[in-house]
Structure 1
Amino acid sequence: MRKEVNYAGEVLRNELATSTELQSAGKTLKIWRMNHKKAIDKLTNQIYPILHESGILACRIKRLPSIIGKLRRYPNIKLSKMQDVVGIRVILPNIQAVYEFDEVLGLSNIVRHRDYIKTPKTTGYRGIHRIYQFNQDSDPIHIELQIRTQQQHLWATAVEMTGLVLGIGDDIKTQASSDDWLEFFALVSSAFARLEGTARVAQHENLSELELNEAIARLDERLGALTQLQAVEPVGTRVVLVDGDWQLLGLDRQRLTVDCLDWEPAVQRYEELERDLLSDQQLVLVKVRLDKLRLAYPNYFLDIQPFVKQLHQRS
């Protein structure tokens, strides 16, 4: 199926493709996304027995518009080799727990390992990334596993929430937002790294603690960052307990709706909602223990206050 998937990717990348071509390619993409289920089960079954008692295991299925957007942003990527169609995340209490888990998990089925804690990205992103490859009917399926601390998770989800609340969308993550906001979050990441005893972002290595805090304060004053973030209120939540361990999260500006479904009806409903998604709505299909949902995906609750509190306590 690899050839069909890659051809579908080329069609979806082409903004001049006909509606008939897009419809056929979209169908192939949906089948490809569904085919990740066995690989999800294989990897999560490896993780559960060794997961720290306070750890969180969460799985996210990438939305079709996000997949198409990534194909268009990165013209050389092949759809069959896209590594984050499925993203699995493990959130642990501290740095020691992260490295112990990473070591115990081993290297079986690993095709790439990146430590963005020892070498943070220039944006300030920190965490360990592992790319897995599982063979399914002779076709390789790739899954991305992110391992991060609770503090790193606060930072990463705050970036997403800030983009959403300020109308920037995912632009902060894709580095298309203002330079000031990018630098603000990079500086905050370096401040958080100091608290965890890990490497700062490269461009901040030579800053003293005082200089780092002064740089954050200057940007905060220029952007009104803390004032804007403190004004964000979590949305109300309606949980629809149907039957299943996958959660379909739908967020508008007033409310988060959570539908709990089995895999196949969840994906089917996901596809239906993707077609009619409005610009001010957010949608994602995830799997996590229901009592851990808010901790795993605070961005869908617009729950940014724990990040703001940590920012106040950084010094």
Structure 2
Amino acid sequence: MVNFARPKYTNSRIRSAGKRIVKDCATSEDNRVLENFRASHAYILNTFQANIRNHSKGIATSVGQRLKRRNTILDKLVREPNMPLSSMHDIAGCRMVFNNVEDLHAVRSSMHSARWKHHLNHDPQKFDYIQKPKSTGYRGIHDVYQYSVNSVGGKPWNGLKLEIQYRTLPQHAWATAVEVADLITSNRIKFDDAQSHYLRYFQLSSEIIARTVEGQKSCCSELSDKKLITEFRTADRRLGLLQTFDNLRGTSDRGINFKKNTILIFRFDLSEEEDALQLRAYENVNKAIEAYDDLEREFGEDADIVLVRGESEANIRDAFRNYFSDARAFVDFIREGLMKLS
């Protein structure tokens, strides 16, 4: 039986720890507060993923889950200084990917009508980035739930939050390509902090995919088809990302020992001849979380480290394809889209 970490600290203590950690004046206890707060989300992640699989069975093409990295938590606190650590809603995250928008909305509606006490923490339209795409070109829908149960066993985790991401395959392919580009170019496209030509490249590619695959518009709706094609081809000649993505082979054909709790380590400090992706697999979630913390301290900024959970190797691969440098679906959507618009 898994003994999940329980929340030990009050919201005010978590807030104060977050402030001091960001200001680089944290005590050792402040760091323990952060680690406990993050680790305690593993319980609600485990509970929600079971519910999600029930609602999406036979509809979603993949379901994945992950705990947010320590460095990513700190980065978000720096980017959003008015948001206290205790209010961060995406430390625990689940992602569902669907063949089409209709399936996505069907499962989301099923989730919204579920007979549970967990609270949807916002207006249903607030994080609908399909109807209103982000300025970066990101499309998808997010829901934030606040964990709430009456059971004695589950009450210690009441109040913690979890983010659910809903994406179609084309939307996921675009987001995957952004993640890969961030890793191989040291840009920060998904945070709207990239060099302008990289940011524009993905705005244009989002528009191409939205128009030609899903009959929708994205963040460049003002462009004609001709202007969209011309500008994208100019951008790709400059950056060469389509060819770069096409050349990446990743580790998709490599035999890897996956387990339900897998830590993916993408190294930044290795030569081209060395394997940049390393994996550690664990049956027990608590041991995985302990190793996760140790690895983040060991590698610091020299690696991107993420703990993911899934029912199978294929499930983990599908939901977290960016860590396997597989953006070929993006390449296919773009090339087919360019042909349709020509």
Same fold (TM over 0.5): yes
User: Where in structure 2 are the equivalents of 1:234-253 lying within 5 Å?
Assistant: 234-235=250-251, 237=254, 239-240=256-257, 245-252=260-267
Which of 13, 16, 19 in structure 2 is aligned with 1:4? Answer: 13
Partner deviation per Cα, 1:141-168 (whole Å, 9 max, x = no partner): 1111000011111100110101111232
Which of 202, 218, 228 in structure 1 is aligned with 2:234? Answer: 218
Does residue 260 of structure 1 match 2:299?
no
Does residue 273 of structure 1 match 2:328?
no
Contact 1:235 1:255 in 2 (8 A): no
1: CA distance, partners of 2:262 / 2:247: 28
**Which structure's relative contact order is higher, taking Cα pairs within 8 Å and 6+ residues apart?**
2
Contact 1:245 1:287 in 2 (8 A): yes
2: CA distance, partners of 1:35 / 1:280: 26
Partner deviation per Cα, 1:165-216 (whole Å, 9 max, x = no partner): 1232xx11112211111111011111111134354234x2232222211221
Which of 237, 245, 248 in structure 2 is aligned with 1:232? Answer: 248
Q: Secondary structure at the match of 2:130?
A: coil
Partner deviation per Cα, 1:1-42 (whole Å, 9 max, x = no partner): 211111111111113x1xxx3422111011111211332233
Give the total of aligned pairs.
306
1: CA distance, partners of 2:266 / 2:256: 12
Residue type of the partner of 2:232? Answer: I
Does residue 43 of structure 1 match 2:65?
no
RMSD of the TM alignment (CA)? Answer: 2.0
Report deviation, 1:137.
3.1
Residue type of the partner of 1:257? Answer: Q
Q: CA 1:32–1:2 in 2, change beyond 3 Å: closer, same or farther?
A: same
Report deviation, 1:257.
2.7
2: CA distance, partners of 1:121 / 1:141: 26
Report deviation, 1:225.
2.7
1: CA distance, partners of 2:294 / 2:300: 13
Residue type of the partner of 2:42? Answer: K
Q: CA 1:238–1:274 in 2, change beyond 3 Å: closer, same or farther?
A: farther
1: CA distance, partners of 2:99 / 2:171: 10
Match for residue 177 of structure 1?
194
Q: CA 1:28–1:278 in 2, change beyond 3 Å: closer, same or farther?
A: closer
Report deviation, 1:138.
7.5
Structure 2: tracts of 5 or more residues without a match: 1-9, 149-154
- % identical equivalent positions: 27
Q: Secondary structure at the match of 2:172?
A: helix
1: CA distance, partners of 2:182 / 2:217: 23
Contact 2:265 2:303 in 1 (8 A): yes
Residue type of the partner of 1:163? Answer: D
Does residue 194 of structure 1 match 2:211?
yes
Q: Report which of the two has the higher share of strand.
A: 1
| TM-score, normalised with respect to structure 2 | 0.84
Structure 1: tracts of 5 or more residues without a match: none
Partner deviation per Cα, 1:262-313 (whole Å, 9 max, x = no partner): 1100000001101011544221001123222221111111112222222211
1: CA distance, partners of 2:157 / 2:261: 27
Match for residue 311 of structure 1?
334
Partner deviation per Cα, 1:39-71 (whole Å, 9 max, x = no partner): 223322221112142521110111111111111
User: Where in structure 2 are the equivalents of 1:59-208 lying within 5 Å?
Assistant: 59-106=65-112, 108-112=118-122, 113=124, 114-135=127-148, 136-137=155-156, 140-168=159-187, 171-202=188-219, 204-208=220-224
Match for residue 316 of structure 2?
293
Contact 1:2 1:139 in 2 (8 A): no
| TM-score, normalised with respect to structure 1 | 0.90
